[in-house]
Amino acid sequence: MIFARKVWHLLVGIKDALALMFLLGFFFLIYAVLLSRPSPGQVREGALLLKLDGAIVEEPAAADPWEALTSGSMPSHQYRVRDLVRALDAAVTDDKIKAVVLDLSKFSGGGLVHMEEVGAALDRVKAAKKPVLTFAYGYADDALLLAAHSSEVWVDPLGGAFVLGPGGQGLYFAKLLERFKVNTHVYRVGTYKEFVEPYTRNDMSEPAREARTAVIGALFDAWKANMAKARPQANIKLVTEDPAGWYKAAGGDGAQAAKAAGLVDQIGDNVAFGQRVAKLTGEDLLDPRPGGFAHSTLKAFLAAHEPKTPGKAIGVITIAGDIVDGKAGPGTAGGDRIADLLDGKDAKDIAALVVRVDSPGGSVTGSERIRLAIERQKARGIPVVVSMANVAASGGYWVATPGTRIFAEPATVTGSIGIFAVVTSFEKTLADYGVTADGVRSTPLSGQPDLFGGFTPELDAMLQATIERGYQRFTGLVGQSRGKSSAQVDAMAQGRIWDGGTARQLGLVDQFGSLDDALAFAAEQAKLEKDDYHPLFLGEKQSAYASLLEQLTGGDDSSNAQANAQTGDLFAQISGRQQALMARAFTDAERMMGASGMQAYCLECGVTAPPLTRPPGTSGLLGWMRALMVR
């Protein structure tokens, strides 16, 4: 007995010692990471290295340490588009920077508007007589567009390039739901409100096909025009119209095919590419590995070039990602979180407000919460201007209605002015297994909505009336904002999406312009001089957890180009896109099962949205199934 007690005490002591060591190590790691933040002193003479191992977005998603620990994989990196543009513009005048290097080996893309913004910034670097060199193992549409603005484009000998173009197919669940006798209750207004079609049809309706064809055609034309201007030697016609013949002529050699079509300039591995950069910028004396070159990372360079804050502040509120109820975000537009930012102390003294939207919409109540908060700012008598990025549709347009001036780009997707709700019930499914429902009601709504016994006709009628009222509310807000009658708004609404050029012709957008153009207009309306204002991005404070995770996952501080793992040839890139499509399919199914309340969401905007950089939440059965399928 005494021996057993001593063994027990020994085991408890070992356990306590291990726990203490773990805690000490954990806190030491946090301390070390916090001390390792980039400083201006880390900027070295050489190249500005932009190692984009992730997606370019309007607003990076908040890092969740618990999700990172439990998911079995680290989150993909996301790069704020204006950070990249600010770094590139600073590189123009910084004498330490001799060249800009883009490493797109793990680049997962972004929206067309963002690609155009970064491409224009790269052009300004070249105009300052500083070369821009780009390397990747394989190039797809977004990477090709950035590379087109480079001085030299390199591809690995085992890599290649291809153009997919916007568009693709989606899944339709009507026959599946019919097979299992799931009753899908759809409430909607809008001939073109495509979101509900996957749950009610087996194919795309002609109105939806018409709208999507028009938008995809406009976006692809914009992509091709940008490519032709930036890289006139590229034979885009061959690459897009006869891709099989193009590859066959090169003997199946993707790298040679890319060079023959003028998509790339040089074929060489990352060591050869690094040696080429070193001739321009000098060798990396801190890292003797082959292919090293002197460089500064994005984080260090941004730390050395903090934005100036002259004069008064113009507030910028970012509405990015799906609009939801609650405090979600950043990266997701939680209605309560954004409203709190607009009502908070940082927004009290702003001279004007710019609403930056990059969202396909979502919850009607979340959208209305944001809109009312914007209206409260407008009631203070300050100018309110809207700036649209890649997409500002459905709820994304709802929140834009308080703006007195709306800026967009030709490649912006907007409109989708419509309302819907989808609810499923299982009374037919259960009846097949001999399960029925019965009872006593005091009113036609007693026990409703009954997901197992079915909906009463009265509830169906009330829900449809609620949706119709929501649509009237939406079109009324648009009409009041745009100075149009109900009939005029209804004619261009009906849930249809529009490209930025058509939206401008219809009056949904006032003029083309970037976020900077919107800021300048807001300053003019607030009677501020050109150099007497600065943007104040509300809520843009990185948490310590996010900083820690970013350091642990490497970020852009991982040495030179040769440190990158080669991320795959044509098959590997297609596989990655297949996984993203699988994740999106499960997301669509989960939206049908889990959406709460009326939705102003643009499903068809998914064909133009930035890539899915990580699967949505993994809660519930659908999340578990998705996790299995996308591994």
Q: Which residues are catalytic?
A: 193, 394
Q: Are 329 and 335 in contact (CB under 8 A)?
A: no
Question: What HEC string does 304-315 produce?
Answer: HCCCCCCCEEEE
Kindly calculate the radius of gyration of the chain based on its CA atoms and give it in whole angstroms.
Answer: 27
The alpha carbon dihedral of 70, 76, 82, 87 has a sign of positive
Asked if residue 449 has a cis previous peptide bond (ω within 30° of 0), the answer is yes
Q: How far apart are CA 530 and CA 122, in angstroms?
A: 25
Query: Beta-carbon neighbour count of residue 68 at 10 Å?
Result: 17
Unique residue bearing structure tokens 């201006």: 40
Q: Count the alpha carbons within 13 Å of 556 in the hemisphere toward its beta carbon.
A: 26
Q: Are 612 and 630 in contact (CB under 8 A)?
A: no
Residue type, 487: A
Q: How far is CA 333 from CA 166, 327, 377, 494, in A?
A: 25, 8, 18, 24
Closest CA to 292 of 271, 313, 307: 271
- List residues bridging with 186 in a β-sheet: 422
Q: How far apart are CA 484 and CA 620, in angstroms?
A: 45
Helix (H) or strand (E) holding 579: helix 570-594
Q: Are 160 and 463 in contact (CB under 8 A)?
A: no
Unique residue bearing structure tokens 């790691």: 29
Q: Are 534 and 522 in contact (CB under 8 A)?
A: no
Q: How far is CA 625 from CA 70, 118, 579, 583, 594, in A?
A: 16, 37, 13, 10, 15
Residues 6+ positions from 434 with CB-CB distance below 8 Å: none
Q: How far apart are CA 496 and CA 194, in angstroms?
A: 8
Helix (H) or strand (E) holding 157: strand 152-161
Q: Are 526 and 352 in contact (CB under 8 A)?
A: yes
